[in-house]
Amino acid sequence: MIIREVLPEEKKKFNQVVNHPLQSWEWGEFRKKTGVDVVRLGIFDPELVAGWQIMFHPLPRVPFTVGYFPKGPMPDKSMLESLRKIGQQKRAIFIKLEPNVGSVYQQGLSAKGQIENFLLAEGCRSGKPLFTRFTFQLDLTKSEEEILAKMKPKTRYNIRLAQRKGVEIVEDNSKEAFEIYLKLLEETTRRQRFYAHSPSYHRLLWETLAPSEIYHLFLAKYQGEVLAAYIFFTFREGLYYPYGASTRTRREVMAPYALFWEAIKFGKKMGCKFFDMWGSLGPNPDSKDPWFGFHRFKEGFGPDLVEFIGSYDLVLNFPGYSLFSFFDRLRWQFLRFFASFRR
């Protein structure tokens, strides 16, 4: 058994052994276009049996990088050793690990346990999360009737209301549909006062992933007007909801509810076994949080609350890590202060 970099001609096999769209070959190609250095490693025995990709982000004005390893497999000693080696080659101050490892949340129990103890013993530190520690996941192996029965009554009512009103849901991955999505996204971020990726980021994402089987843009239309546009990913056995936008116009027709329901049926048709809604505020959400409305909307569809093991920083340069953490805290204090004045 050896660990080495995965070659371009091994792309198909690589996608067959990774388990999240952020680990897909296509996502790596997209991140390369944004200026990020992407390294793909694989375990060969003798064929490729496991793989993961790490993104190395350059830091401004210094010859160092920060590594990001999102939604990878369960870490072990051999993986951490390979990460240390490649991290040193890339002059990484640290590599942030956010494993795709979790379980259905239970009060009083944690998904961390022995995994956290192992990572801390191996030189990792508990880090600031980039991906949410909690998410909502819906079991798509159940029938449509069973899924509807588990929803909150108000959610079922809103779905049927949108259907009665004649809200139309279509998949449209065209450039024209994407530009509509961008306009709605700008409106949504201004209204909710949160930060989103830039239009150029989303444009590169669309250009890279839309030709693949991963990316699906759904529109909710009412009387010829697009009221909501949501992006979904399908990868392996999962349906994912990473990005969405909507307008306040004609809110009474409940277009987002019809859109989500059609996406659920689409995921079942595609053979997906679960629907990951890409984040949750957790078991005790703050009603004043800007994401509370999204949390409550997703919760209405009756998903399970899933807790991941969290975010850990594999530190390779301790003085650099301390400086980075200090300036990162200052940066976010400034951004939060600035966001309070956005209109």
Per-residue pLDDT tens over the stretch 75-91: 899 999 999 999 999 99
Helices (DSSP H) in 143-285: which residue ranges? 144-150, 153-165, 175-192, 199-209, 255-269
Per-residue pLDDT tens over the stretch 260-295: 999 999 999 999 999 999 999 999 999 999 889 999
CA distances in angstroms from 51 to 19, 179, 257, listed in the order given: 9, 34, 37
The third-level CATH classification (topology) of the domain covering 136-306 is Aminopeptidase (3.40.630)
Q: In this predicted structure, what is the pLDDT of residue 337?
A: 54
The third-level CATH classification (topology) of the domain covering 2-129+310-339 is Aminopeptidase (3.40.630)
Average per-residue pLDDT in the chain?
Answer: 93
DSSP letter assigned to residue 280: B
Per-residue pLDDT tens over the stretch 181-190: 999 999 988 8
Tell whether the model's pLDDT for residue 331 goes beyond 80: no
Structure-token match 């990020």, residue found: 36
Tell whether the model's pLDDT for residue 340 goes beyond 70: no
Tell whether the model's pLDDT for residue 322 goes beyond 80: yes
- Where do the domains of the chain lie? 2-129+310-339, 136-306
Task: Tell me the mean pLDDT in the region 145-173.
Answer: 98
Label residues 183-210 b or e (16+ Cβ within 10 Å = b): ebbeebeeeeeeeeeeeeebebbbebbb
For residue 145, what are its two tokens?
A: 């009737």
Pairing between strand 48-58 and 225-235?
unpaired
Report cis status (omega within 30 of 0) of the bond before 63.
Answer: no
C-alpha–C-alpha distance, residues 88 and 102, integer Å: 29
Answer yes or no: same fold for 2-129+310-339 and 136-306. Answer: yes
Task: Tell me the mean pLDDT in the region 193-203.
Answer: 85
Tell whether the model's pLDDT for residue 192 goes beyond 70: no
Q: In this predicted structure, what is the pLDDT of residue 343?
A: 42
Amino acid (1-letter code) at residue 228:
A
- Percentage of the chain surpassing pLDDT 90? 85
Tell whether the model's pLDDT for residue 301 goes beyond 50: yes
Per-residue pLDDT tens over the stretch 114-158: 888 999 999 999 999 999 999 999 999 999 999 999 999 999 999
Tell whether the model's pLDDT for residue 3 goes beyond 80: yes
Lowest mean pLDDT among 146-150, 189-193, 228-232, 297-301: 189-193
